[in-house]
Structure 1
Amino acid sequence: MIKKILVSQPKPTSEKSPYFEIANKEHVEFTFHPFIKVEGLTAREFRQQKIQILDHSAIVFTSRHSVDFFFTLCKEMRVALPEDMKYFGLSEAIALYIQKYVQYRKRKVFFGSTGRWPELVTVMAKHKTENYLVPLSDVHNDDVARMLDEKKLKHTECVMYRTVTNDYPKDKDFDFDMIVLFTPAGVKSLLENFPDFKQGDKRLACFGGVTKAAIEEAGLRCDLFAPTPQARSMTAAIEMYLGENK
């Protein structure tokens, strides 16, 4: 019987989270602990890429992390961004988040309509004379560079932050009946935290095909997978699984 579930994400801030509803309905206990965390590169590490921020006339942000780490790095390196610097966000939410660091009305800020790269690239293509800088994580593919090349846009990709293992507290028990994972990095972190991990009767739940593949490549068993046509979210999948395995 499943009573204790570890979710490898931050604890929800809203009391209306489906996790809390499931806990009350199914009488289970959720513990939240991200197995991974994101940290920014130091100025010294960034300089090793030999990229000059001020050689660019526009910055492209793919996430709030990229916004935070970009402006933090600029401050650390004492880079004074010009008033006419343009900013492009993958979504409107990211574009609005830029206001945390710059006065929105005095800057030129653009964003895609759907939160997907093809739409943002279409917007960027209307500004063909810009020289774009794209801050990325240490884990990324070449899809972005390929799309920008197809539009003949001048651009440079750079690494400004990375995903690292978030240690599980050594003073806390790890006696969960189910562990919920969301990324291959989370699978890797689980095994780094617990090198002698034996699955046994523990259920492993995961979101996404690449995470499932990472679990199986590690020689572990995936007991619950989402999304599916019946359960589009991880919480829906968990609720369905608990209902079927009482």
Structure 2
Amino acid sequence: MTLELAVLARDVGREAAAHVRARRPVGRVEVAATKSSPTDVVTEIDRESEDLIRARLLSARPDDGFLGEEGDSVEGTSGVEWVVDPIDGTVNFVYGIPAYAVSIAAVTAQGVVAAHVVNIASGEEWGAVASEGAWRWHDDERVPVVAPVTSQVSHALVGTGFHYTRPIREQQAAAAARLLPHVRDIRRIGSAALDLCGLAEGRLDAYVEQGLKPWDLAAGGLVAREAGIVIEGLGDTPDERLVVAAHPGIAEEYFSLVRACGF
């Protein structure tokens, strides 16, 4: 069943990405509202994308639950809940920076079991099924993704992001400044889902972020895990307080460094 969920996520994700791509005007996109702070934005196209995804998923599987970033949750009875970010990287979307994604994950009592992430701007797609691996979609072909070995923290290219509320941003900025001398460099791409998929295939070597919601982490996190990446939080479970991820070759040392830097 889990592969069927991944294929459904792919089909719906592709349709939503095509809708967003078609609806995006030339130039900067108008902001419809803000959320946690004046810089945490949402557009009407975010809402359209989520409405489309909810309708398609619940039409195919009407007994499932649904948790999306922009709308009301739906309680299901099937034991499957869809966790969705209709545009992960909305600020990039608003400004026309080509790194924003549709992120769809199927979650059961066992955790995230199937995932699909598509970069709306480039069309790149990733998928994963729990215990069955991660892959890139090339049309309808699944090409396995395995994270390349990283052996030295000092050579690691680290992805990160920043919270939208000022006190947490200030703390994160200070922690990132302490981290920077110990690694190759830091990248702030602007989409957690794309960061985690990039980590899965070697575009990044490690990752740290605070403030991630379930829809930011669910799909990309499964892709990364199934590619061989270790993901933790302050304890074993990553959460809104902290998400830290790396190849097993550097995970223990890198995680200790992140915590020592004050994240």
TM-score, normalised on structure 1? 0.25
Q: Which has the larger radius of gyration?
A: 1
Where relative contact order (Cα < 8 A, 6+ residues apart) is larger, the structure is: 1
